[in-house]
Amino acid sequence: KNEVEQSPQNLTAQEGEFITINCSYSVGISALHWLQQHPGGGIVSLFMLSSGKKKHGRLIATINIQEKHSSLHITASHPRDSAVYICAGISRGGADGLTFGKGTHLIIQP
């Protein structure tokens, strides 16, 4: 059974701080989604990656396949980054159902 472990569960930081959220996953998972869920409830896919690193604005996602570990970084954090960030594993391409971590509840204080 595929498993995804995410940490920390909760994170509060000051505006401007560098944020790191970690995700470990089991054998059988070939790629990861990083998802963002705002208090309104909608889920947005930030990144999908199976190797290396991806960057979009202040967000950076990395994945180490050998160590089965991925990180999501936020540079120059801002209160609008406050959300739940969810790591989700994919076992085959994009067409298998996702296995979700429990999410990291991030609060950025001004």
Partner 1 sequence: DAGVIQSPRHEVTEMGQEVTLRCKPISGHNSLFWYRQTMMRGLELLIYFNNNVPIDDSGMPEDRFSAKMPNASFSTLKIQPSEPRDSAVYFCASTLDRVGQPQHFGDGTRLSIL
Using CB under 8 A, list all residues that contact partner 1: 31, 33, 35, 41-45, 48, 50, 86, 88, 93-103
Comparison of 53 and 78: residue with beta carbon closer to partner 1: 53
Q: How far is the CB of 77 from partner 1 (least distance, A)?
A: 24
Comparison of 77 and 103: residue with beta carbon closer to partner 1: 103
Q: How far is the CB of 110 from partner 1 (least distance, A)?
A: 27
Comparison of 17 and 54: residue with beta carbon closer to partner 1: 54
What do you get for the CA distance between the two ends of the chain, in Å? 41
3-class SS at 45? strand
Tell me the backbone φ, ψ of residue 93, rounded to 5 degrees. 50, -135
Nearest CA to 9 out of 73, 85, 89, 105 is that of 105
Q: How far is the CB of 12 from partner 1 (least distance, A)?
A: 20
Query: CA 58: distance to chain centroid?
Result: 14
Q: How far is the CB of 81 from partner 1 (least distance, A)?
A: 19
Q: Who contacts 50 (Cβ-Cβ below 8 Å, separation ≥6)?
A: 30, 31, 32, 63, 65
Comparison of 77 and 104: residue with beta carbon closer to partner 1: 104
